[in-house]
Amino acid sequence: MTSRHATWSVEAGQQVLDSLPSDERLILPALQAIQHEFGYVPREAVAIVASFVNVSVADTHGVLTFYHELRTTPPAPVTVSLCMAEACQAVGVRSVAEDVAKAIAPLGQRSSDGSVDVVEVFCLGNCALGPTALVNERLIGKVSAESLVRAVASAREGVNA
Amino acid sequence: MTRVYVPRDSAARSIGADEVAVAILTEAALRGVDVELVRNGSRGMLWAEPLVEVVTDAGRIGYAGITSDKVAELFDAGFLTGGEHASSLGVVDDIAWLKDQQRVTFARMGITDPVNLDDYQAHGGLRGLRRALELGSEATVEEVLASGLRGRGGAGFPAGIKWRTVMQAQADQKYIACNADEGDSGTFADRMLMEGDPFTLIEGMTIAGVTTGATIGYVYSRSEYPDANNTMREALAVAYEHGLLGADVLGSGKAFDLRLRVGAGAYICGEETAMLDSLEGLRGMVRAKPPIPALEGLFGKPTLVNNVMTLGTVPAILADGAAAYQAFGTERSRGTQVFQIAGNVDRGGIVETGFGVTLAELVETYGGGTWSGLPVRAVQVGGPLGAYFPADKLDVSLDYESMIAAGGMVGHGGIVIFDETVDMSLQARFAMEFCSKESCGKCTPCRIGSIRGVETIDKIREGVDRANNLVLLNDLCELMTDGSLCAMGGLTPMPVQSALRHFPEDFQR
């Protein structure tokens, strides 16, 4: 399976950090840069970020676990982020989520074939055209389980291309 | 050569605008006609997206709800010269839905190419900054004060007072921090401005910088807004290239650097002090006030924290004067508010108009009722921390004071409509659940109270000792309101108690 992310190594991680502009040599931007490159923040990276920013491993771990989006395990090739906030609730996202649970995976879980993560998010700013989801970085409005299955398929083609 | 507009706004793209743009170019090539395609921002008529506009002698003619498979039909109908088609809306500027609005902050929205600085200036851009540079700091702050502009993020604090505090603060470094962490469900105005008219935000922040003496600014945006972030980056590069940003802003000798930072999925970072911690690269923990950020903010330095809509309104105030802006609105709520009509709505989108419009006008006149066609039952105003209003109480005036009197708040101007299928005890439960998931954890009423809130509402829903648990829930709500450090825990009771007050039957099923 081809990935949309690079493979982690200590050297590659250090390179990512070294290329950060001076005002982004802070814990959160450093962790985000690592995740952007490798898809997640490997355990090994925590101490490297801590030493790079010159803070404790505990502080770095604290930031890593605070933000919902930072992750410590590799993501599936495709991530479906389904908005579960009020404006989407008003147009039936709760039942869409039930359908998605059957068609792809329940919220917070990975599909049985390992290809898709389904995550819950709160508000994608498309509140007049909901229910809404992001499939990787593509925003899709008026979604149903069927339209998401199609979007996942086309995202997988993109990843594997 | 005919000019055709297809929005690049992510809402339009979420229902196929990119495919429509490609189809138009392909079809034009096939038919051998010259078309200049411009990707504009959205007009805010999200019910009409993807909205294709064609420049004709009569004006810009709009075609609503276009999908790629309708494009050939449009060519057949002669849309390039404004030909009739079932989807035609006529001249877009004449559409009542748009024409009856009072657009100030969103004046250029959907009209220009968002990342074209010439287009921006041709439509009034940079007049505000030039005037601010001429006026100097004191007079610029006076202008902002006189306009009556209040914080559009939700708190409604007078912007001019904040500006004056930062201007007068003595420090070796000051900052401008733009709060673009628009996490409230039902709000998308910040996103649309960043995607559709980013130079307005850049200009507003630059005015704030040169006025208060802050030489570095940050836009704190959300990772959930990838398109907005890309457009901001593009616009920032253009602004630097043209000397709007950098060491010598428009040749004034004043420096202002502006950078984009993106969060990582934490609603609490929309709270100003949590945002500052996050900008420092830390956990987004709420700080106790005082000290106020205007004196001790980012990295302990004086920092002007304003929302995208507040800063995005400043260029218009400076360009046309405080009096022009003052003319809109009601007594103590001056100017316009960019309302966002969302949820179960037939005609959702942006309605910018003076404060004092009623909720009913937005829901019925603009929104056209529900998308499902069922009767409206509840309307939540002001995001996840805002109150739910029942269908028979929509005659409330939307201004800061009236909303507080009615037990609600304007917040960031989000209006979320629910039809009669909504279960209000479930919505109350969600408010507590959301708080428990998004609390920074610093204070107990918010961190623990929200979890107890979910448990108590579950018991009420299941019919366990209902009368006592309702008393307990109200007691808990009062404690959270009074005892929380910030608005997260302090306002979570607002949707809960409004649901209890207006929809008691949903807690007795």
Residue A39 lies in a domain: yes
Last residue of a domain, one of A66, A87, A112: A66
Pair A62, A100 in one domain: no
Residue B397 tokens, joined: 């005036």
Mean pLDDT of chain B: 97
Q: Do B348 and A129 touch (CB under 8 A)?
A: yes
CA B108, CA B441: separation in Å to the nearest integer?
A: 41
Partners of A78 in the β-ladder: A116
Contact, A126 vs B345, CB < 8 A? Answer: no
Judged by CB atoms closer than 8 Å, whether chains meet at B265 and A141 is answered as no
Per residue, the 3-state secondary structure of B309-329, as one string, reads HHHHHHHHHHHHCHHHHHCCE
> Do A61 and A85 sit in the same domain of this protein?
no
Which chain B residues are closer than 8 Å to A142 by Cβ? Answer: 14-15
Phi/psi at B212 (5° precision): -90, -10
A141 touches chain B (CB under 8 A): yes
CB B250 within 8 A of CB B449: no
**Record: contact B344-A63, CB cut-off 8 A:** no
Note whether residue A53 is domain-resident. yes
Q: What is the pLDDT of residues A79-115, one digit of tens each?
A: 999 999 999 999 999 999 999 999 999 999 999 999 9
Q: Please report how many Cα atoms fall inside a 13 Å half-sphere around the Cα of residue B207, on the Cβ side.
A: 35
Q: B339 near B413, Cβ under 8 Å?
A: yes
What is the C-alpha to C-alpha distance for residues B450 and A86, in angstroms, rounded to an integer?
A: 17
- pLDDT at residue A1, rounded to an integer: 41
Q: How confident is the model at residue A159 (pLDDT cuts 50, 70, 90)?
A: low
What are the CA-CA distances from residue B446 to residues A92, B371, B453, B477 (Å)?
A: 28, 35, 10, 10
Return the DSSP state at A16. H
Interface test with B, best of A64, A69, A129, A143 (most B CBs within 10 A): A129
A46 in any annotated domain: yes
CA distances from B466 to B180, B318, B425 (A): 41, 56, 13
Choose the closest CB to A29 out of B186, B281, B427.
B281
Q: Is residue A112 situated within a structural domain?
A: yes
B447 touching chain A per CB within 8 A: no
Rounded CA Rg of chain A = 17
Give B247-297 pLDDT, tens digit per residue: 999 999 999 999 999 999 999 999 999 999 999 999 999 999 999 999 999
CB atoms B187 and A27 under 8 Å: no
Residues of B in contact with A69 (CB under 8 A): 223, 264-265
pLDDT at A94: 97
In degrees, rounded to 5, the angle at the alpha carbon of residue A122 between the alpha carbons of residues A118 and A128 is 105
Average pLDDT over residues B110-128: 98
Q: For B65-186, where are the E strands, in sequence order?
A: 88-91, 175-179
**Is A69 close to B265, i.e. CB distance below 8 A?**
yes
Q: Is residue A52 part of a domain?
A: yes
Residue A108 and residue A36 in one domain: no
pLDDT tens-digit map of B208-248: 999 999 999 999 999 999 999 999 999 999 999 999 999 99
**What is the pLDDT averaged over residues B169-196?**
97
Same domain as A38, residue A104: no
Distances (CA, A) of B47 to A127, B79, B319, B368: 11, 20, 31, 11
How far is A70 from A62, CA to CA, in rounded Å? Answer: 11
Residues A56 and A87 in one domain: no
Half-sphere exposure of B226 (CA within 13 A, CB side): 12
> Could you tell me where in chain B the CATH 3.10.20.600 domains are found?
336-419
CATH code of the domain occupying B117-326 = 3.40.50.11540
Name chain A contacts of B182, Cβ cutoff 8 Å.
Answer: 123, 125
Peptide bond into B291 cis (omega under 30): yes
Q: What is the 3-state secondary structure (H, E, C) of B55-92?
A: EECCEEEEECCCCHHHHHHHHHCCHHHCCCCCCEEEEH
DSSP, res A7: P
Q: Say how far apart CA B352 and CA B211 lie, in whole Å.
A: 27
Least Cα separation, residue B73 to chain A (angstroms): 24
A61 and A99 in a single domain? The answer is no
> Both A44 and A105 in a single domain?
no
Across residues B53-80, what is the average pLDDT? Answer: 97
Q: Is B15 on the interface with A (CB under 8 A)?
A: yes
d(CA B216, CA B136): 18
List the strands of the sheet with A138-140, edge to edge: A109-110, A116-121, A78-83, A133-135, A138-140
pLDDT at B363 over 90: yes
Give the one of B11, B191, B380 whose C-beta lies nearest to A141's C-beta. B11
Is the CB of residue B284 less than 8 Å away from at least one CB of chain A? yes
What one-character-per-residue DSSP string does B381-437 give?
Answer: ESSTTSPEEEGGGTT-B-SHHHHHHTT---TT-EEEEEETT--HHHHHHHHHHHHHH
Interface of B with A in 75-114 (CB under 8 A): none
SS3 for B52?
strand
Q: What is the predicted pLDDT for the residue at B331?
A: 86
Residues with Cβ < 8 Å from A113, sequence gap 6 or more? none
**Which of the following CATH numbers is that of domain B336-419: 1.10.3210.10, 3.10.20.600, 3.90.550.10, 3.90.550.40?**
3.10.20.600
B253 exposed, middle or buried (CB, 10 Å; 0-12, 13-18, 19+)? exposed
Q: Please check whether residues A89 and A152 belong to one and the same domain.
A: yes
Strand residue runs (E) in A47-113: 78-83, 109-110
Domain edge (last residue) among A66, A87, A108 = A66
Do B416 and A127 lie within an 8 Å CB cutoff? Answer: yes
B306 touches chain A (CB under 8 A): no
Whole-number Å distance between alpha carbons of B53 and B36: 12
Q: Is the Cβ of A140 closer than 8 Å to some Cβ of chain B?
A: yes
- Identify which of A29, A85, A128 has the shortest CB distance to residue B46: A128
In whole numbers, what is the pLDDT of chain A averaged over residues? Answer: 95
**Per-window interface: A 10-49 vs B, CB < 8 A:** 23, 26-32
Give the best residue of A123, A137, A144, A148 to mutate against chain B (max B CB count within 10 A).
A123
Identify whether the C-beta of residue B329 lies closer than 8 Å to the C-beta of residue B354. Answer: yes
Same domain, A93 and A133: yes
Q: How confident is the model at residue B305 (pLDDT cuts 50, 70, 90)?
A: very high
Tokens 């009509």 locate to B341
Q: What does R_g of chain B's alpha carbons equal in angstroms? A: 23
Q: Which secondary structure element, helix H or strand E, spans residue A139, and what is its range?
A: strand A138-140
- State whether B371 and A91 contact (CB < 8 Å): yes
Kindly report the nearest CA distance between residue B306 and chain A, in angstroms.
19
Letter string b/e over residues B92-131, b meaning 16 or more CB atoms within 10 A of that residue's CB: beebebbeebbbbbbbbbbbbbbbebebbeeebbbebbeb
B321: distance to nearest CA of chain A, Å?
32
Strand partners for A135: A80, A138
Q: Residues A85, B384: contact at Cβ < 8 Å?
A: yes
Indicate the residue of B261, B266, B342 with minimum beta-carbon distance to A67. Answer: B266
Name the residue among B258, B267, B262 with its Cα closest to residue B227. Answer: B262
> Is there a single domain that holds both residue A82 and residue A141?
yes
Mutation for B interface: A94, A127, A132, most B CBs within 10 A? A127
Q: Is residue A3 part of a domain?
A: no
Residue A2 has pLDDT above 60, yes or no: no
Q: Do B345 and A29 touch (CB under 8 A)?
A: no
Residue B465 C-beta-side C-alpha neighbours within 13 Å: 7
Let me know whether A108 and A136 are in one domain.
yes
CATH 1.20.1440.230 domain extents, chain B: 424-507
- Selected for mutation to probe chain A from B42, B49, B185 (highest A CB count within 10 Å) is B185
Nearest CB among A27, A88, A141 relative to B15 is that of: A141
* Chain A neighbors of B47, CB-CB under 8 A: 128
Q: Is some CB atom of chain A closer than 8 A to the CB atom of B33?
A: no
Give the rounded percent of residues in chain B with a pLDDT score beyond 70: 100
Please indicate if any CB of chain A lies within 8 Å of the CB of B439.
Answer: no
Assess if residue A73 is contained within a domain: no
Whether the bond between A29 and the residue before it is cis, its omega within 30 degrees of 0, is no
A158 pLDDT more than 90: no
How far is C-alpha B73 from the chain's CA centre? Answer: 36
Q: Which residue has the tokens 């790079």?
A: A52
CATH of segment(s) B424-507: 1.20.1440.230
Q: Which residues of chain A make contact with B381, given a CB cutoff of 8 A?
A: none
Residues of B in contact with A83 (CB under 8 A): 185
Angle, to 10 degrees, between the axis of helix A10-18 and the axis of helix A27-38?
130
pLDDT score, position A160? 59
Contacts of residue B273, Cβ cutoff 8 Å, sequence gap at least 6: B286, B287, B289, B293, B486
Mean pLDDT, to the nearest integer, of B183-187?
95
Q: Is the dihedral of CA B209, B210, B216, B217 positive or negative?
A: positive
Residue of A nearest to B383 (CA): A86
A1 within some domain: no
Whether residue B259 lies within 8 A of chain A, CB to CB, comes out as yes
Number of domains making up chain A: 2
Examine the domain organization and report whether A100 and A154 are in the same domain: yes
Domain that holds residue A143: 78-160
Q: How far is A9 from chain B (nearest CA, A)?
A: 23
How far is it, in rounded angstroms, from Cα B240 to Cα B246?
6
| B2-99 topology per CATH | Glutaredoxin (3.40.30)
Tokens of B121: 């200036």
Identify the closest residue of chain A to B419 by CA–CA distance. A90
